[in-house]
């Protein structure tokens, strides 16, 4: 051959990029392209799920797809081949190749384009169906009958399309409990099947009959035939477990609390929403505004401890984390520089951010970097808590449910809207005087919102 490069030599292998914050692997959810397809620079080629979010990954090369490295459900380490692209027949180097090659050599900051820094070992493979769960070959006679019924239902013309499932967590839950996703009615946007839909299906008699213990687990059925439920500590659940364990190991935390009369806060919210019906403000937004006022007075709590350098770093901006319960577990999306937002902007941003977190559409960068967390566990119907600090932050404020309770007002007993505020803080960054001052300021603003106006 001459000195020119062959087509094989000019193929470009795109490695799974670093998706941010030290993530070392990602699970392939769905390929957006197939072998033989023509792709352009920055075209999304695959949807992957990390321990933090589900994201689309764009390819920095243009050309024809030669190889897809990995199938849906497979976990790929960062830095390993993801997709191989060849230039179109008769073409030169794929468009954009030279530019991206130089960016990669320079260490481009775009984590969805540049190569990652982590390198895993051998690829792990989780065997799982992409959209529907096939009947278990070791099912009992009753389970086989239920599976046959499910197959008949899936062949119904009304259910001729494949089940709409986005989250691998939902597919895993259905597989482990023997639920045929083609028989599940999705209640998410566009008919997407959510975790709650699968859990609801488990209450059906057919689903209970079809649920067979995983033979690899070795759990024997007991009593009425139900066996132990084994939940692998993987994905987002593993990340949560690791982070909370690290927080408990490293942070000497203390929790203080106080009951407050929130009647004035509720009245203030009602007045604001009556004046601006097109931009309603939530109680959480008002509490966030109060927290921001408190952190301006007591910046010691808007900090983190650098144990290696033996120093405390007080953040210049308040990157407010909001604890949100989702189908994927407890996530804490972050509102960066929340102190710059008006109360109306806080309300809008909180609503949009929590909705995106529950939908799994937030990028990993939005789930890290917080400096203070606000946790409204009152939505679960509980009064108080001693929450674990979201490492490496230094404090977390929790809010319990707001309920009618007897309260003394001007020497008279009255029924008021009462809630409990709990502050958990890192005793290394401050002592009880600072923590108590912050919590008292928050409580006073909840009881008398006019103080908040005077402080801003």
In the chain the first and final C-alpha atoms are separated, in Å, by: 75
Spatial CA neighbour of 26 closest among 3, 2, 57, 5: 57
Spatial CA neighbour of 209 closest among 141, 154, 152, 151: 141
Handedness of CA 369, 339, 301, 328 (dihedral sign): negative
- Whole-angstrom distance, CA of residue 50 vs CA of residue 112: 13
- Whole-angstrom distance, CA of residue 70 vs CA of residue 122: 12
User: How many other C-beta atoms lie within 10 A of the C-beta of residue 220?
Assistant: 8
User: How many other C-beta atoms lie within 10 A of the C-beta of residue 270?
Assistant: 11
- Whole-angstrom distance, CA of residue 123 vs CA of residue 429: 42
Q: Is 119 a catalytic residue?
A: no
List % helix, strand, coil for the chain (3-state, nearest 5).
35, 25, 45
Contacts of 301 (CB under 8 A, 6+ apart): 294, 295, 372, 394, 395, 425, 429, 430, 434, 435, 438
Could you say which of 69, 97, 177, 427 is catalytic? 427
Spatial CA neighbour of 188 closest among 207, 205, 170: 170
Spatial CA neighbour of 229 closest among 172, 183, 181: 172
- Whole-angstrom distance, CA of residue 297 vs CA of residue 290: 11
User: How many other C-beta atoms lie within 10 A of the C-beta of residue 109?
Assistant: 8
- Whole-angstrom distance, CA of residue 385 vs CA of residue 374: 13
Active site residues: 427
């Amino acid at each position: 051959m001459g000195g020119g490069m062959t087509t094989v030599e000019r193929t470009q292998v795109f490695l799974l990029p670093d998706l941010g914050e030290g993530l070392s692997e990602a699970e392939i959810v769905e390929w957006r392209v197939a072998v033989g397809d023509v792709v352009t620079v920055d075209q999304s080629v695959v949807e992957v799920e990390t321990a933090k979010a589900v994201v689309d990954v764009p390819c920095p090369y243009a050309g024809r797809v030669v190889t897809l490295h990995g199938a849906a459900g497979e976990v790929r380490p960062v830095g390993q081949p993801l997709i191989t692209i060849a230039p179109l027949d008769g073409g030169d180097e794929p468009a954009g190749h030279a530019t991206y090659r130089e960016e990669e050599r320079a260490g481009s900051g775009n984590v969805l384009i540049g190569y990652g820094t982590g390198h895993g070992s051998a690829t792990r493979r989780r065997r799982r169906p992409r959209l529907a769960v096939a009947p278990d070959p070791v099912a009992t006679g009753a389970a086989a009958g239920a599976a046959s019924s499910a197959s008949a239902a899936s062949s119904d013309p009304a259910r001729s399309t494949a089940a709409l499932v986005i989250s691998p967590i939902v597919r895993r839950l259905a597989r482990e409990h023997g639920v045929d996703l083609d028989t599940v009615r999705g209640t998410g946007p566009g008919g997407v099947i959510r975790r709650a839909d699968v859990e609801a299906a488990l209450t059906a008699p057919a689903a209970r009959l079809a649920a067979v213990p995983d033979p690899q687990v070795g759990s024997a059925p007991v009593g009425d035939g139900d066996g132990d439920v084994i939940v692998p500590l993987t994905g987002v659940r593993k990340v949560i477990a690791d982070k909370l364990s690290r927080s408990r190991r490293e942070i000497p935390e203390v929790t203080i609390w106080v009951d407050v009369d929130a009647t004035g806060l509720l009245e203030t919210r009602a007045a604001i929403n009556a004046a601006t019906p097109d931009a309603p403000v939530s109680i959480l937004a008002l509490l966030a505004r109060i927290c921001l006022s408190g952190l301006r007075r007591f910046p010691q709590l808007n900090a983190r401890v650098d144990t290696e350098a033996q120093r405390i770093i007080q953040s210049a901006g308040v990157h407010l984390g909001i604890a949100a319960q989702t189908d994927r577990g407890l996530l804490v999306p972050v509102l960066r520089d929340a102190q710059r937002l008006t109360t109306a902007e806080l309300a809008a941003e909180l609503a949009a951010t929590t909705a995106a977190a529950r939908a799994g559409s937030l990028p990993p960068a939005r789930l890290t970097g917080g400096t203070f967390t606000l946790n409204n566990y009152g939505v679960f119907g509980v009064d108080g808590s001693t929450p674990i600090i979201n490492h490496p932050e230094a404090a977390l404020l929790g809010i319990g449910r707001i309920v009618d309770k007897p309260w003394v007002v001007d020497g008279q007993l009255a029924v008021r809207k009462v809630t409990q505020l709990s502050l958990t803080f890192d005793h290394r960054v401050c002592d009880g005087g600072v923590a108590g001052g912050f919590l008292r300021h928050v409580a006073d603003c909840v009881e008398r919102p006019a103080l908040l106006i005077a402080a801003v």
